[in-house]
Amino acid sequence: MRLTRSSDGLLGLAFEPVAGRRVPDIEGVLWLDPETATLRTLKFRYVHLADSRVIGEPGGEVVFGRLADGTWIVRAWSIRMPVLERVGRVRRVRRVAYRQEGGIVWRVVDRDGA
């Protein structure tokens, strides 16, 4: 892990796989506002997959929000993965599409319904 900064002044906690390992993993950055300590987003991407020209850029994002009482929530999320198919009898694959899933929080209700 290491600290990084964005061009718009956000502070990031970057993470990456252990050096030397070549197994599929993720890398990304957890972004926060350094003046208010407000969590903003977590952006990530998959690494060490098959040939990146075939796979493309799978990854995702988590957007954080804060409730009036200070509780952190996930306001929105998305993940993008390639749809692959085998080519011929050899063990090659090709990307034929992307599948993207996600969600958005429209309302937060406590256990009393408020």
CA–CA separation, 106 vs 20, rounded Å? 42
- What is the per-residue pLDDT for 60? 95
Is residue 79 classed exposed, middle or buried when 0-12, 13-18 and 19+ CB atoms within 10 A define those classes? Answer: middle
- What is the per-residue pLDDT for 103? 96
| pLDDT tens per residue, range 5-58 | 999 999 999 999 988 887 888 999 999 999 998 999 999 998 877 655 666 678
| pLDDT tens per residue, range 51-110 | 556 666 789 999 999 888 888 999 999 999 888 787 877 777 777 888 899 999 999 888
- What is the per-residue pLDDT for 61? 96
